[in-house]
Structure 1
Amino acid sequence: MNFLKRAGKSIIARKGKTLIMLIILTVIGSLVLSGFAIQEAAKNAGEEARKELGATVTLQVDRQKQMQERQASGERGRPEQQAISLKEIEAVANLSEVKSVNYLSQATATSSSVDPVTSESTETSDSEQKGPGTMEMPEGMTTPDFSLNGVTSMELINAYTEGTLTVVEGEALTTDSPENSVVIDENLASENDLKVGDTIKLKATTTKQSQKLTIIGLSSSTEATSDAGFQAAGFMDPMNQMYVSNDTLADFATEDGEVSVSSVVYTLKDPATIATFKKEAQLAASDLDWDTYMLDANDAAYQKMVGPIEQVASFSKSVVYLVSIAGGLILALLILLSVRERRKEMGILLAMGEKRSKLMGQLLIETFAVATVAFLITYATGGMTSQFMTDQLLSREVTEATSTVATQTGFGGPGGPGQQMLNSIPQITEMTTNIDWVTLIQVMEIGSLIVFLSVLFPSVALLRMNPKEILLRED
């Protein structure tokens, strides 16, 4: 009798064992399929989160680490601002992943011809006795009126690309702008009867040097100005912030006129290359003290968004491994018991001259036939099963996730603007799983390997004996 026909009759004759094998293979297939589907959904969600946060990486001082070190040594207060020399980091801008670079520097200034915009709360604070919330300048230093932001191009600033900072008249500061150009807030211009084309004179609070600047644009900011820091220090109010080129800022705000920046924002061509860029940047700028500086790709915000889904993906990966191993062992045990029960049948067939390869082929066909039915059931129910598992696992992880990932660096500390921005970023609480051909092929590969190994080892143990040994051997 043809071994294919024997396989078909064997499946029908052993209905109970066939049903048990079908259930086992269906459970294995469903869990493995769900595991792969969840991992793919998590990967897609992570990519979408990266796109939402943007493909920008900021090189800056690791302020959180600085604060921790100062607290450990018993020091108090904010650490001093550390500048980054352009010579140490220019090579990073030439990396293939980089689309554009924005060098940022900061300074403060006063002016005898331009009055800063003062809010009602600031005026009250100046007229009343100084309290704990008021910033008091060290002896010998002048209280600044304005914040000067040195940039490569305003168009590369996050606030500009996000629409919270706009140029309402004139033009934005770019690399093509004339020397000694400045963009000021429209409210500051209105208070001082200034317009595009006028010249203002600023005096740096650090060097006491002065510089005449020509207004090329008026800006408008929608950033909130009610923060306690803005009330205590008027020069930090968005209306008192000006934008100049880094070269202009260095000319009169530094002793040597050499450009040093407080941070660098790299815009990458593809968010997917952020991890690769970080590694290459550290090699390109090997002279930089990487114990002091860090490359931040909105990592805290990213981790808050994708933290729960990464936990779900990790758990589903473990499920795939455990189910594959445990399912394979259970299936192998079931086939071993079936082979032992069919010892007499196998012995007789071998004695009649049937080839061992055909007997093993018969066992494989029987198991693969059941596995095919199990796969069809898995395919039909996989979408519903994987989505149900995803919803349950993600709901648990979101509930257990902490509401704050890490304290953001920069002005404000806990409760400051950086932390408030982090708190405003929502976690990803939903994932949609899709069963595509890649996932199905992965399940088929895993299932085929499990079936093949489960049949191979038990059958080899029996078929390596000769027919006489098989028929005479006692259970």
Structure 2
Amino acid sequence: MNLGIRAILYSARKWKKTLLVFCLLLAITTLVLSGLAIADAQEEQAEEVRGTTGASFTVERDISTGGWNGNYSTQEFMSEDMIQQIAAVDGIAGYDATLITLPRIFNDKGEELVHENYSFYNYGSYNSQYHELFLSGRFELVEGTHITDDMTNSIIISRELAEWNGLKVGDTLTGVYYPQNNTPEVDMEIVGIFDVVADKGDQVNMYDDASYYAYSSYVFCSMDAAEGLIKGWGEDGEGISEAYYYVTDAAQLENVIREVQSISSINWNNYKITANDEVYQNISSALSDTGTLITTLIIVITAVSMVLIILILTMSIRSRKRETGILLAVGIAKPAVILQYVLETLLIAVVAFPLAYLSSKQVAGTLGTLFGKAAENIIVTPEHFMLVAIVGGILLVAAVLVSSISTMRLKPKQILAQME
């Protein structure tokens, strides 16, 4: 009788054992397919995080390598050319720079604005959305627009400052660096209002002038306006002291920084670079931990399932010693007998695998929600099925071979003698 027919007849005759193996394969394959779909969704989320979270780095004067002139460091400031050279490096999506001034600000009636400090802590800005305070999430623009490099006399203020002084987007303010010294007056239009997301009682926590100012006293003005405020004053401590660069792919931050440091026209002994990727690192670490957990679960499920299948097949083959001995005694080779066992198992898999593919499409979404994934983002693909079918088939063949070792190492007479 053809071994294929024998395999089919045996599977039908031993339907309880066939059903047991079928249910086991169906459950295992469904879980593994679901796990692969969740793992892919996890990877897609990680890719999305890299693009949406991004990261930044700060280039600033290194005052430790410069001298001092009274209270001011003589370290060179950043030039416009230097800022633009760095901004041109591949991978940098945007930039901002800082020209710090401490102006007094007045409304259109000439009245000084109500605020918490003697003066304002003003950041001259090219593109305020890329300023470290906004990139870090401490500040969030809630009205109007950010300052861009094509604006000349624009200013962004805090919501608190706007509420205290009855200000809104579109109003005009006048900034004066030192009124008592008749420094130039600069008229600025309010183009945006930001909210302080960080703890109101948590100041900048830096050992510089900014630490003495409440967040509500921070303002951002266009770079042209900031330069207009100090025109004719010329203090040694005034100039562009730092710049912020936004990198779209946070995973490439280190590579971008290395390329920036390779710009030979910049004396890097006078400047230092600080990476700002805490948000990305925290999120990616959590995603990595979840990805590791999913992979571990897939491996554990597969390993435990293989042990169970081997045990079931071993018990089945041992219960068939008489049949095996007779087949060997009538001249059927051991490889042919083993092949029959393989066919019996694969016949069950041929039915179980496609059904598992269909069931996993329903189960994967439910399981994915346990890992914080949206069900619609968990998709079991044909590629997942092909991978599981091929690897699963190989593992099943290996399981049959392992299960047959104890019986097939005996000779036909020994097998039949054990059955007497």
TM value normalised by structure 2: 0.68
Separation in 2, partners of 1:429, 1:337: 41
2:241 counterpart letter in structure 1: S
Give the corresponding residue for 2:254: 278
Structure 1 vs Structure 2: percent identity of aligned residues? 18
Which residue does 1:146 correspond to in 2? 120
Question: Given that residues 56 and 265 in structure 1 are in contact (C-alpha distance below 8 angstroms), is that contact kept between their aligned partners in structure 2?
Answer: no
RMSD: 5.0
Q: Distance in 1 between matches of 2:411 and 2:253?
A: 63
Could you tell me whether the CA contact under 8 Å between 1:324 and 1:446 is conserved in 2? no
Name the counterpart of 1:244. Answer: 223
Among 316, 329, 349, the alignment partner of 2:307 is 329
Give the alignment partner of residue 264 of structure 1, picking from 230, 235, 244: 244
* 2:337 aligned residue (350, 354, 359): 359
Residues 10 and 257 (structure 1), Cα distance of their counterparts in 2 relative to 1, 3 Å cut: same
Residue in 1 that maps onto 2:236: 255
Q: Is the alpha carbon distance of 1:209 and 1:255 closer, same or farther for their aligned partners in structure 2, counting shifts above 3 Å? A: farther
Distance 1:213 1:59, change over 3 A: farther
Q: Does 1:435 align with 2:394?
A: no
Q: In the alignment, which residue of structure 1 is the partner of 2:177?
A: 202
Residues in 2 aligned to 1:102 and 1:36: alpha-carbon distance in whole angstroms: 42
Query: Compared with structure 1, are the counterparts of its residues 267 and 107 closer, same or farther at alpha carbon in structure 2 (3 Å cutoff)?
Result: farther
Distance 2:270 2:17 in 1: 67
Question: What is the CA distance between 1:5 and its match in structure 2?
Answer: 0.9
Deviation at 1:442, TM superposition (A): 3.4
Distance in 2 separating the partners of 1:387 and 1:290 = 50
Using a 3 Å threshold, how does the CA distance of structure 1 residues 384 and 84 change in structure 2: closer, same or farther? Answer: farther
Distance, in Å, in 1 between the alignment partners of 2:245 and 2:182 is 28
- Looking at structure 2, the residues matched to 201 and 118 of structure 1 have their Cα atoms a distance apart, in angstroms, of 12
| Number of residue pairs matched by the alignment | 375
Query: AA paired with 2:193?
Result: S
- Gap change, CA 1:101 and 1:474, over 3 Å in 2: farther
Q: Residue 100 of structure 1 aligns to a residue in which SS?
A: strand
| One-letter identity of the residue aligned with 2:310 | A
Q: Is the 8 A contact 1:84 1:260 kept in 2?
A: yes
Q: Which moved more, 1:212-221 or 1:313-322?
A: 212-221
CA contact (8 A) 1:102 1:156 kept: yes
- CA distance, structure 2, for counterparts of residue 16 and residue 113 of structure 1: 88
Mapped to 1, the partners of 2:234 and 2:415 lie a distance apart of 95
Aligned to 1:164, the other structure's residue is in SS state strand
* 1:432-463 CA distance string (max 9 Å, x none): 42222233233324422331221122234543
Residue by residue, what CA displacement relative to the aligned partner does 1:71-113 show, whole Å, maximum 9, x if unpaired? xxxxxxxxxxx99978999986565332333334544234799
Residue 366 of structure 2 corresponds to residue 381 of structure 1: no
In 1: Cα distance, 2:26 partner to 2:218 partner: 65
Identify the residue that residue 71 of structure 2 maps to in structure 1. none
Q: Give secondary structure in 2 for the equivalent of 1:265.
A: strand
**Aligned AA for 1:152?**
Y
Give the one of 276, 290, 297 matched to 1:319. Answer: 297
CA shift digits 1:406-457 (9 cap, x unpaired): xxxxxxxxxxxxxxxxxxxxxx674542222233233324422331221122
Asked whether the 8 Å contact 1:149–1:242 carries over to 2, the reply is: yes
From 447, 452, 458, give the equivalent of 2:403. 458
Distance 1:330 1:118 in 2: 77
Q: Report matched runs for 1:47-446 at 5 Å.
A: 47-48=47-48, 54-60=52-58, 93=87, 95-110=89-104, 118-119=113-114, 122=115, 143=118, 145-154=119-128, 164=142, 166=144, 173-174=148-149, 181-184=152-155, 201-203=176-178, 212=184, 218-221=190-193, 223=195, 236-237=215-216, 241-244=220-223, 248=227, 255=236, 259-261=240-242, 264-268=244-248, 273-278=249-254, 280-281=256-257, 285=261, 293-296=274-277, 298-299=279-280, 302=283, 307=286, 313-391=291-369, 393-394=370-371, 430-432=374-376, 433-446=378-391
Residues of 2 paired with 1:464 and 1:117: CA distance?
Answer: 99
Counterpart code for 1:118: L
Q: Secondary structure at the match of 1:223?
A: strand
Give the drift of 1:23.
1.9
| More displaced 10-residue stretch of structure 1: 360-369 or 106-115 | 106-115
2:417 & 2:83 partners in 1: Cα distance? 81
The alpha-carbon deviation at position 300 of structure 1 amounts to 7.4
TM-score normalised per structure 1? 0.61
What one-letter code is carried by the residue in structure 1 that aligns with 2:113?
A: T
Q: Secondary structure at 1:298's aligned position in 2?
A: helix
Q: What's the secondary structure of 2:245's corresponding residue?
A: strand
3-state SS of 2:221 partner: strand
- What amino acid is aligned across from residue 99 of structure 1 in structure 2? A
On the 8 A contact 1:102/1:151 being kept in 2, the answer is: yes
1:117 positional shift: 5.1
Amino acid at match of 2:102: T
**Structure 1: runs of 5 or more not aligned:** 62-81, 123-133, 136-142, 395-427
Quick check: 109-118 or 19-28, which moved more?
Answer: 109-118
Gaps of 5+ in 2: 60-74, 204-210, 263-267
Aligned to 1:42: 42
Q: Distance in 2 between matches of 1:381 and 1:289?
A: 63
